[in-house]
């Protein structure tokens, strides 16, 4: 596992953007896995800047979401699919239809999870972008998830719901369920890139890096991957 501690939050986003840029430039057709959250927002902002100013093209890229809330209205801007459209797809030259999402409105969610697992596994994701929850979650694999878990319906922990409650202050409704790629689905990607910033992530990062790889700290699964990079700002690295 390669760990990079950048000078500050902005430098961490730039460093993560360098990894994504190298991956995108190296291939004609690329399968990029994307996470959502406050942390990745600045990474996508940096990629959009490179697209506008430096001609970084995403025309050959297909992006695959990691997870999605269940229970939000189809037009809700907090759906992760909308977030990726807004923060990335609409800012760069991704082709129409290049954003692949999990469908939380599917009449049979278990079947939808199988469909998505198959889509993601049909050819490996080349580079998977990840964040980490303050409780060590990876995508929406909460503590207690199995290391061999696949795409499935999950119940969100109180910690995750409280961390994300700030996005839902208008309605007061914070989703209780989600669909998420499993830990083994994520580990099937050729390369993993985890970005974490802020003191709030320091304890989770330390457990993920120093603890034994186990489902209690889902992000510790990165230790099992042959090509994983963790990019941190000094606050997130403060307990290493």
Which residue out of 46, 62, 67, 87 is catalytically annotated? 67
Known catalytic membership, residue 93:
no
Nearer to ligand GLP, 57 or 216 (CB): 216
Q: Identify whether the C-beta of residue 184 lies closer than 8 Å to the C-beta of residue 149.
A: yes
Tokens of 184: 């083994």
Catalytic residue among 142, 191, 233, 235: 142
67: which strand partners? Answer: 180
Q: Is 8 a catalytic residue?
A: no
Compare residues 87 and 117 and give the one whose CB is closer to ligand GLP.
87
Minimum distance of ligand GLP from residue 55's CB (angstroms) = 28
The answer to whether residue 142 is catalytic is yes
Q: How far is the CB of 23 from ligand GLP (least distance, A)?
A: 19
Chain contacts with ligand GLP (rule: CB under 6 A): 35-39, 66-67, 131-133, 139-140, 160, 164
164 a catalytic residue: no
Which stretches within the chain are classed as H helix? 9-26, 38-54, 80-87, 109-121, 158-164, 183-187, 202-210
Nearest CA to 193 among 38, 6, 25, 40?
Answer: 40
Whose CB is nearest to ligand GLP?
Answer: 131
Q: Which residues are catalytic?
A: 67, 135, 137, 142
């Amino acid at each position: 596992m390669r760990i990079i501690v950048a000078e500050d939050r902005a430098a961490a986003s730039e460093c993560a953007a360098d990894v994504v840029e190298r991956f995108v430039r190296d291939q004609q057709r690329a399968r990029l896995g994307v996470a959502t959250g406050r942390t990745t927002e600045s990474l996508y902002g940096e990629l959009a800047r490179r697209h506008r100013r430096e001609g970084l093209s995403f025309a050959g890229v297909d992006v695959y979401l990691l997870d999605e809330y269940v229970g939000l209205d189809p037009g809700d801007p907090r759906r992760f699919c909308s977030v990726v459209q807004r923060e990335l797809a609409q800012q760069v030259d991704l082709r129409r239809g290049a954003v692949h999402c999990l469908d939380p409105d599917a009449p049979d969610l278990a079947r939808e999870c199988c469909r998505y697992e198959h889509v993601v596994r049909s050819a490996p994701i080349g580079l998977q972008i990840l964040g980490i929850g303050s409780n060590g979650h990876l995508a929406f694999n909460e503590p207690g998830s199995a290391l061999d878990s696949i795409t499935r319906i999950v119940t969100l922990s109180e910690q995750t719901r409280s961390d994300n409650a700030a996005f839902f202050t208008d309605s007061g409704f914070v989703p209780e369920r989600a669909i998420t790629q499993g830990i083994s689905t994520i580990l099937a990607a050729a390369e993993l890139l985890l970005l974490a910033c802020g003191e709030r992530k320091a304890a989770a990062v330390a457990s993920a890096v120093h603890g034994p790889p186990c489902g209690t700290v889902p992000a510790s699964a990165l230790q099992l991957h042959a090509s994983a990079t963790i990019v941190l700002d000094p606050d997130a690295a403060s307990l290493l």
